[in-house]
Amino acid sequence: DATKLLRGAGYTTFDGGGPNETSHAGIGGAYAHVTAPLRRLADRFGTEICLAICGDQPVPDWVREALPSLPDIMSTSDHETAKADRSCIDAAEGWMLEGHIGESFDAVVLHVDDHGAEIMVVKPPVIARCKGEGLQEGAQITVRLDAIDVISFSYGGANPA
């Protein structure tokens, strides 16, 4: 459930009074952060607001004017970042599994959907797709690696052994 609860983020901007919604579903309480202004666009603006408040200065107009557009920009940015991260991880996982086609691995079923399941291979630590019948979330299973395509950084998947 944690992988579902903590996946993705939503952004709320406010100017003046506090926002209507301050809780973070994943932690079940009020939450805000301004931790990575070099990496996250919204944090750059949040930092400017904090600096203005701490310096007993007005928040710059350019910051206030940008606030309404930040949630959509951040959502798009987060999506692109996640795709890039996943591609890098897929490539590394593919390289780790290269040369192991036909071998069996211990795994745990993370999520089941209409197309099979997302699994975590225990050793080497790899997240992969698995096709099979009767897969249940949380189940410990043994899978066999059937195919892998390291060149395109995709895996052919695993099947219960």
Per-residue pLDDT of 41-89, as tens digits, reads: 778 888 898 899 999 999 999 999 998 888 888 778 777 877 888 888 8
pLDDT at res. 149: 66
Q: Is 155 exposed, middle or buried (0-12, 13-18, 19+ CB in 10 A)?
A: buried
143-158: average pLDDT: 66
Q: What is the three-class DSSP state of 71?
A: helix
- Residue 144 φ/ψ, nearest 5 degrees: -115, 130
- Residue 145 φ/ψ, nearest 5 degrees: -75, 120
Tokens of 65: 């004017």
Query: Apex CA 134: angle with CA 5 and CA 104, to 5°?
Result: 90
pLDDT at res. 70: 84
Alpha helices in 28-146 (DSSP H): 41-54, 61-66, 70-97
